[in-house]
Amino acid sequence: MTNNTKILYDEKVKSLAEKYESQGFHVLTELKTDELPFDLGNYQPDLIAIKDGLGLVIEVKNSLKRLSVDRLQALAEEVSTHPGWHFLLVTLEDIEAKSLPGTSEQFPSWQELTDRFIQAHKLIENDEIEPGFIFMWSIFEGALRKRAVDVSIPIERFPVIGLLRHLYSFGELSISQFDLAQACFEVWNRLAHGYIENLNLPVVHNFDNLVRELLAEWKVKFDISQVSSENLVAFRAWFAEFDAADWDKRQKLWQNLINKRLFLALGNEELKKELNVNDEQLINVKCDISQLSPEDLAAFRTWFAEFDAAAWDKQIEEDVAAGRLDVLAQKALKHLREGRCTDL
């Protein structure tokens, strides 16, 4: 680190510490690894800020260049396993924000983004191309930042080009999606700065399709990640049936979901019980998946297989830690001692 960059870095850390302290946070700097509130290996954060059950582990970088986000994602995932704690990456190139990082910044929900997309799509359909495109870009950028948060990639404050590049490198965007987004950003950038730009209609419609596809994909993945262990078991069985079904069977399953959603909306408790409607979130997830295109469904199938395997591993770890498998382990050891086990 050169003298100039070291000065900028020190000033940024000092400034952040003072700002957090001015908002009532207890701020710790220059911590040793054994002084951290939980084990993060040999990692030493630049700042820790604590207030009212909220804990922030903060890494400060001067530049996005030569930044190992892979390592920081692993840290972000580990920090997020501790209730009330969040990992933040702050750089001198971050977008401007009114609030301090991690304090009150919020993104729209996936449903709110979807609702806004419908509004922008209608503008484009009604030949209000320029305002529709500008609105669509704001929705797209919000979705990028929200997706980064959902998957613990600490880049939600990055300038949009850095955001796009890192999401592409993590496999959240394909090369064709990245190229289209980059081309659309250049158009949006000129429009946003007051230049006249002749919009290419096929590009606008391709961008409209891209935002629709990503919103559907990322909303479903987020909703699945929020499902309880019990409901995940139910979803796993439903998805296996749905995925193996022919078109007619899928239509029947879809209609069943629509009926359940209707009775949820009506609030009829007796009919809910009769139809076994017990979880609105799970029904909404199934409805969203039922409407995926064949291509999007294939992508979801691959993702869900990986997600489900990880969920199984996590559940086993939790069961072992809680002693839920002790009886089975003792039974297996007893059988081993009695010579009742056979080699596979």
Helix (H) / strand (E) containing 316: helix 294-322
Query: Which one, of 73, 255, 234, lies nearest residue 150 by Cα?
Result: 73
Q: What pTM value is reported for the model?
A: 0.77
What is the distance between the alpha carbons of residues 293 and 216, in angstroms, rounded to a whole number?
Answer: 10
Query: Using only C-alpha atoms, what is the Rg of the chain?
Result: 24
Nearest to 116 by CA among 133, 136, 102: 136
Burial of 231 (0-12, 13-18, 19+ CB in 10 A): middle
Contact present, 58 and 88 (Cβ < 8 Å): yes
Residue 35: the pLDDT is: 78
Contact 131, 59 (CB under 8 A): no
pLDDT at 278: 54
Strand partners, 210: none
Q: How crowded is residue 209: how many other Cβ atoms within 10 Å of its Cβ?
A: 12
Identify residue 207 by its one-letter amino acid code.
F
Q: How many CA atoms lie within 13 A of 203 on its CB side?
A: 16
Asked whether 289 and 220 are in contact (CB, 8 A), the reply is: yes
Long-range CB contacts for residues 173-181, cutoff 8 Å, separation at least 24? 177/210, 177/214, 180/206, 180/207, 180/210, 181/140, 181/207, 181/210
pLDDT of residue 178: 95
Q: How many CA atoms lie within 13 A of 96 on its CB side?
A: 1
Instruction: Return the structure tokens found at 322.
Output: 């809680």
User: In the prediction, which pLDDT does 256 show?
Assistant: 84
Report the relative pairing of strands 26-29 and 54-61 from DSSP bridges: unpaired
Residues of the chain with pLDDT under 70: 1-2, 66, 98, 104-105, 266-278, 313-329, 332-336, 339, 341-344
List the strands of the sheet with 54-61, edge to edge: 26-29, 47-51, 54-61, 85-91
pLDDT at 258: 83
Predicted local distance difference test score (pLDDT) of residue 7: 87
Q: Strand 47-51 relative to strand 26-29: parallel, antiparallel, unpaired? A: antiparallel
- Phi and psi for 86 in degrees, rounded to 5? -140, 145
H helices, E strands: number in the chain: 13, 4
Residue with tokens 């359940």: 260
What pLDDT does residue 328 have?
64
Q: What pLDDT, on a 0 to 100 scale, did the predictor assign at position 62?
A: 82
The closest of 176, 182, 184, 175 to 205, measured between CA atoms, is: 184
Closest by alpha carbon to 295, among 216, 201, 234? 216
CA–CA dist 249, 43 (Å, integer): 53
Instruction: Report the C-alpha dihedral over residues 110, 113, 117, 119, rounded to 10 degrees.
Output: 130
* DSSP-derived secondary structure letter, 64: S
- pLDDT digits 0-9 by tens, 89-101: 888 888 777 677 7
Q: What is the pLDDT of residue 183?
A: 94
**CA 114/CA 215 separation, integer angstroms:** 7
Instruction: Give the SS3 label for residue 137.
Output: helix
